[in-house]
A = this chain, B = another copy of it.
Amino acid sequence: MMPITDRSLMSQTAGRTGPRKAPTMEDVAQLAGVSHQTVSRVLSDHPNVRESTRAEVLRAIGQLGYRRNSSARALVTRRTLTLGVVACNPTLFGPSSTLFGLEEAARDEGYMVSAVTLRRYSAAALREAIDHLSDWGVEGIVVIVPHREAVTALAELRLPFPVVTVEGGHDLPIPVVSVDQRLGARMATSHLLAAGHRTVWHVAGPPSWLEAEARADGWRSVLEEAGAVVPPPIQGDWTPLSGYRAGQELAGRVTAGAAGRGSAEVTAVFVANDQMALGVLRALREAGLSVPGQVAIAGFDDIPEAEFFTPPLTTVRQDFAALGKASIRLLVSRLESGTTQGDDERVVIEPRLIVRGSSTPS
């Protein structure tokens, strides 16, 4: 775009420090000896402008440090070129990576993105966030709130602009971009079964989260197909602490299992995310159990730390940046085409199993 440092050359009395008004298109026009419309044409790369005129206008623009007023532009074109994002739990690795992939993609497409973050999810908070974004005239929004009720609430809101969700569930008439959580869970569980374990336990995420549900579902389906016992999943809340508690419970069962109880032995655990897996690892270690010797572990997400856990964590990698990119592409495509229809569009990204020491003997 235009240089922004040349303000010092402005055709005003130098030294006057007051908040001098930004130059307008008319100012540029006068300096270049043309009409404001010609300036506009230069700025929008209109073909029918004589080369010498264009040069003169550009010179004037540079000299004044002129920038188009985006509000005036938006007013007349009815395009704010701004997209909104609503995100929840945004300090976690997944959401923040998605957010930044998304921002980058939007910038490449010529849009600005404004994000609103929810500390905790509630239908009211979601509505408020969307209201806030609407007030600023976003042309469309991406919702990264993989919460069952959230998506339901969203579907009921008939918004005057397109909406795309990330991990928003497939059973609603809203376009969705997602990683195949179920497949990821299946890969992890199969991997553990293939290593010879009779069955695989599961530390699940909060049940209201769609991802938690899909992962539990994938895990269960593999066990059932293999004719293995399906142990009761242990509930966590994504935090390392909850994983730690779940790990303590599992450790207790290992000991009890040795004494020969009815339930399935704990020799392998698929944990619904890496942070909880960290807690599980710790609890098992404290209980004197070796990983993967006595219990094999797999996680989900592949956070940057996972490779350096003790032992390094086998996990399912999600390409969050791709998620963000895809959601923007979806949103922008409906913006440009002007459709609000085709609300059942789906983009699914395949996860990848990363095998490390927590599931295989070193």
Contacts and interface: CB of A to CB of B under 8 A. Distances in A.
A159 interface: yes
Contacts of A338: 19
Interface in A278-329: 278-279, 281-282, 285, 304-305, 307-310
Interface in A249-282: 275, 278-279, 281-282
Contacts of A307: 240-241
A99 to B, nearest CB: 8
B117 A114 contact: no
A209 interface: no
Interface in A70-93: 70-72, 74-75, 80-82, 90-91, 93
Contacts of A201: none
A310 B277 CA distance: 13
A43 B107 CA distance: 33
A246 interface: no
Contact of A70 (B17, B119, B137): B137
B82 A90 contact: no
A115 B103 contact: yes
Contacts of A275: 304-305
Interface stretch (A4-12, A29-37, A163-171, A185-193): A4-12
Nearest to A1: B131
